[in-house]
Amino acid sequence: MAEKPSTRPAVSTGSEIPPAPASGPSSVPAQSTIATGATATNPSAPLVAAEHPEDDDGSDSVFSGDATSSAASVSSSILEYRTIHGRTYHSERYDTQYFTPNDDRQSESLDIVHHYLTLLLDGKLHLAPIKKDIQKVVDIGTGDGIWAIDFGDEHPSVEVIGTDLSPIQPVWVPPNVKFEIDDATQRWTWPDNTFDFVHIRFLTGAIKDWPALFREAYRCCKPGGYVESGEFAPRYYCDDGTANDETIELWNSVFEEAGKKLGHSFTVIEDNIQETGIRAAGFEDINAFAYKAPVGGWTADKKLAEVGRYSQLALENDMEGYTLFLCTTVLGWSKEEYQLFLMSMRKILRNTRNIHTYCKYKYVYGRKPGGLAAA
């Protein structure tokens, strides 16, 4: 267990917690493109704070399957969730060790995240230029299924499959949408060339072998079809020096240190894992889109301010869900140390007028060679 001073929980022994790095775009191989300007936020441009943030009332809180599929049947072992400090997590049948709970509170946050990600993409569910006449789509790591449901509503003639470790998706869904229980870190059991579009979103912290994941996506993607990966960096960044707080440094360190212990990367964006893995798998015509999304409505950009308010809401709704397993089970913090950490982070979230943080998001898509061009 790490040594812990009395003033606040510690993550590492005998080493200083590094400050958040200066923001800026990751290096990108020559064959891919980084979008800037209207479609994606310029990753090198600082976010500018609004002089008078909207809705500023003195408080920054936004609170006042079938048998032949690749899925396992919903057996009793799948429904035997693990319970950690009152929160439920996926069954021990899987050794994936995904770090967020699978309960209703986390599902509420997933819905909020889906909403602000859609806002970030200007109302789009994806960026890949998929054909109009596609037939079959898979959403890997679907969570509570909201992306798959929305995509199914927009494309009623397309068969949409969402996969996840836990059967937490709703029963009433569009007739063209279904959900399967599956572990994406294992070999996918669908035949080669099954899907026109493989959608992967928010698996940061869940995957040990990203190249293997993208190889499976390539194998199961039809020639001419697309894979798209949308990921985030769970660090707080700051461009104007307002976030010099040891609690923010500690938040950043939690994901770095826990990721090392789990063997699951939380630096997918920083390490350029999406583009590298998608290219190595064999996809071509690779495009990357980098975004900065504020936490709170402090920025002068109205769209990003709205994104930031929902980002803040998702954290306030279930900050525990994103950190409980990592801090207590992985890093060995005591209950008292963890509660002190949460209290300090909530104070920061309620002061976003003065503390201007943001997170990084990145979407990358690529096309499998062959087939017809996108319509």
| pLDDT tens track for 148-165 | 999 999 999 999 999 987
User: Is the pLDDT assigned to residue 229 strictly greater than 70?
Assistant: yes
Confidence of residue 44 (pLDDT cuts 50, 70, 90): low
The residue ranges of DSSP E strands in the chain, in sequence order, are 33-35, 81-84, 87-91, 136-140, 159-164, 177-181, 195-201, 221-237, 284-294, 358-367
- Of 149 and 50, the one with more pLDDT: 149
Residue 294 pairs with which residues in a beta bridge? 358
At 329, is the secondary structure helix, strand, or coil?
helix
Confidence of residue 67 (pLDDT cuts 50, 70, 90): very low
Percent of the chain with pLDDT over 70: 71
| pLDDT tens track for 68-106 | 343 444 344 444 445 655 655 544 544 546 655 656 666
User: Is the pLDDT assigned to residue 124 strictly greater than 70?
Assistant: yes
User: Is the pLDDT assigned to residue 176 strictly greater than 60?
Assistant: yes
Could you give the strand order of the β-sheet that contains 221-237, starting from the edge strand earlier in sequence?
A: 33-35, 284-294, 358-367, 221-237, 195-201, 136-140, 159-164, 177-181
The matching CATH number, chosen from 3.40.50.300, 3.30.1360.200, 2.60.40.10, 3.40.50.150, for 33-64+73-367 is 3.40.50.150
Query: What is residue 351's predicted lDDT score, i.e. its pLDDT?
Result: 95
- Dihedral (Cα; 141, 324, 318, 273), 10-degree rounding: -40
**Domain limits, the chain:** 33-64+73-367
Contact between residue 147 and residue 139 where contact means Cβ atoms under 8 Å apart? yes
User: Is the pLDDT assigned to residue 55 strictly greater than 80?
Assistant: no
The secondary structure of residue 21, as a DSSP letter, is P
